[in-house]
Amino acid sequence: MKLDTSQSSPAESYKLLTNLIVPRPLAWITTQNADGLVNLAPFSFFTAVANKPLYLMVSIGQYEDGRPKDTARNILDNGEFVVNLVTEDVFDAMNISGADFPPDVSELSMAGVQTAPSVKIAVPRVAQAHASLECKLFSHQALGNYTLVIGEVLMFHIDDALVGPNNRIQGFTPVARMGSPSTYCRTTDCFDIPRVTYAQLKS
Ligand SMILES: Cc1cc2nc3c(=O)[nH]c(=O)nc-3n(C[C@H](O)[C@H](O)[C@H](O)COP(=O)(O)O)c2cc1C
């Protein structure tokens, strides 16, 4: 199959893109609005993008009627968010938090999620998450009907049980998005292969 994206509908192209660029990790993001209401929603257009300083990015679309999603609006309003990572034990709560809640309703109680305070920002993190990253907005860029948000990671919260010698993360098994709309995968089947150098290849 060959498909010229200029000849396909946005919905068809989106389906292909999001079923091919997989697996995508899940950023389960807490933000806060001007009244202090905590918002929670999952995003899979998400990855790490730099290390000095530490930057990550998440891309947030609009609702069908053109309204910004609450997560994007809150981040642009006050510049703070927490990326909580998603493991299977919090999967159902993550899924509930992705429903189309009105802006004045917090997803937290319906998803059975408790929060814990952050250290460097006012926005709290998800208490049940095994790892959370406190972030401050670095920059944002309109991408068609999406807003690309780049955040600087200010603080890690990681369950002690996941941190091995030399801060190597061990036993962390996040779930990831495979296809849209609702196929996921586990990350329990991993393998290690040492990186090769050019010198080794030449010898
Ligand atoms: C697993 C999963 C991944 C998602 N990824 C994205 C994404 O990358 N970008 C996006 O705009 N919406 C994504 N969504 C949809 C949002 O989570 C959904 O629109 C949510 O209601 C937004 O909430 P908010 O208005 O509170 O920010 C995803 C939903 C799920 C369940």
* 90-142 pLDDT tens trace: 999 999 999 988 888 888 999 999 999 999 999 999 999 999 999 999 999 99
Is domain 5-202 in CATH 2.30.110.10, yes or no? yes
Average pLDDT score over the chain:
96
Using the atom order of ligand 1, give the atom closest to the CA of residue 177.
1
The predicted pLDDT at position 63 comes to: 92
3-state DSSP of the chain: CCCCHHHCCHHHHHHHHHHHCCCEECEEEEEECCCCCEEEEEECCEEEEEECCEEEEEEECECCCCCECHHHHHHHHHCEEEEEECEHHHHHHHHHHCCCCCCCCCHHHHHCCCEECCCCCCCCEECCCCEEEEEEEEEEEEECCEEEEEEEEEEEEECHHHECHHHCECCCCECEEEECCCEEECCCCCCCCCCCCHHHHHC
Residue 101 alpha carbon to ligand 1 centre in Å: 11
Kindly list the protein residues whose Cβ atom lies closer than 6 A to any atom of ligand 1: 26, 39, 41-45, 59-61, 69-71, 95, 98, 100, 177
Using the atom order of ligand 1, give the atom closest to the CA of residue 45.
8
The predicted pLDDT at position 48 comes to: 98
Q: What is the pTM of this model?
A: 0.96
Residue with CA at minimum distance from ligand 1 atom 1: 42
The predicted pLDDT at position 181 comes to: 84
Using the atom order of ligand 1, give the atom closest to the CA of residue 62.
11
What residue ranges of the chain have pLDDT lower than 50? none
The predicted pLDDT at position 19 comes to: 96
